[in-house]
Amino acid sequence: MYDEFANLYDGLMSDFDYENWFNYLESIFYKYHKKPKRVLEMACGTGNLSHFFAEKGYKLTCFDLSEEMLSIAYKKLNRFKNVKLFRQNMIDFKFKDKFEAIVSICDSINYITDDNDLLGTFKNVYDHLEDGGIFTFDINSYYKLKNIIGNNTFIEDREDIFYTWQNFYEEETNICNFYLSFFYSEDGENFRRFDEEHRERAYKIQEIVKLLNQVGFSRIDIYEAFTFNSPNDETERINFIALKE
């Protein structure tokens, strides 16, 4: 997962506004009267969000499971003295330090498809947070994975990349399987193909809240992503904020 795709990731996400996402995270800190200096970013990918944290002077620790993604992130972040980059798994990461804020974006949490693994992730987050710390993350909503992505197929044709994205939704497990086939050219003439498979689980809000409560988070707020509005039945991305009080 995210092997050869890592080299195409930034190009395919070129219209994605990471700066806006960073600004939203800072607005969350402001709303909750938090001024974190030490931040942990889980599943940092190629470091697009990390770059904004680094530029703003946060003491940032970030990790990802994909070596390929991390190698790209390293090229973006190695000039910053305030950033540490590691290869770790969200399920069982371990650091000696504690953090004032822990963040995860781009529906990384949906990639954890087992209840016990997600419980372990949340327990790890809780244990790595300072008292008074804040944990914020987003998910692709149950509605989006089941009804928008669901059993649909998407095709995109760009100048040097063509890909198909076929999806199959398992009703019994609430897991959406993504099958992607990429055709890309480095010279504009010769194309090569590779395939990737991804799985995301559709979680209902109450399932997430139950697991967060179970590890010790008592205050949990839920918003439609990039806003402070309550999500509705057709919200596609949901943001969670959990406080270690």
What pLDDT is recorded for position 5? 60
Q: What is the pLDDT of residues 125-135, one digit of tens each?
A: 999 999 999 99
Are 5-140+204-243 and 143-201 equal in CATH topology?
Answer: no
Residue type, 182: F
Report pTM.
0.92
Q: What is the pLDDT of residues 120-165, one digit of tens each?
A: 999 999 999 999 999 999 999 999 999 999 999 999 887 778 889 8
pLDDT score for 10: 61
Split at pLDDT 50, 70, 90, the class of 3 is low
pLDDT at residue 207 tops 70 = yes
Rg for the chain, CA atoms, rounded: 18
pLDDT at 9: 61
Question: Residue 7's pLDDT is what?
Answer: 66
For the cut 60, the answer to whether the pLDDT of residue 2 exceeds it is no
pLDDT given at position 163: 83
Name the band, by pLDDT with cuts 50, 70 and 90, for residue 190. Answer: confident
Contact in structure between 204 and 86 (CB atoms under 8 Å): no
pLDDT digits (tens, 9 = 90+) for 9-44: 666 666 678 999 999 999 999 999 999 999 999 999
Confidence band, pLDDT 50/70/90 cuts, at residue 175: very high
> Under CATH, domain 143-201 is a member of which superfamily?
S-adenosyl-L-methionine-dependent methyltransferases (2.20.25.110)
Q: Which CATH architecture has domain 5-140+204-243?
A: 3-Layer(aba) Sandwich (3.40)
Q: State which amino acid sits at residue 191.
A: F
pLDDT, tens digit (0-9, with 9 covering 90-100), for 78-120: 999 999 999 999 999 999 999 999 999 999 999 999 999 999 9
Q: What is the pLDDT, as a whole number, of residue 12?
A: 64
Q: Residue 70 is inside which H or E element, if any? A: helix 67-77
Q: By the 8 A CB rule, do 39 and 61 touch?
A: yes
Can you give the pLDDT at residue 210? 98
**Angle at alpha carbon of residue 160, lines to 159 and 166, rounded to 5°:** 95
Cα distances from 138 to residues 42, 151, 179, 236, 240, in angstroms, run 12, 22, 22, 10, 6
Confidence check: pLDDT of 222 > 80: yes
At residue 180, the pLDDT reads 87
Return the domain boundaries, the chain.
Answer: 5-140+204-243, 143-201
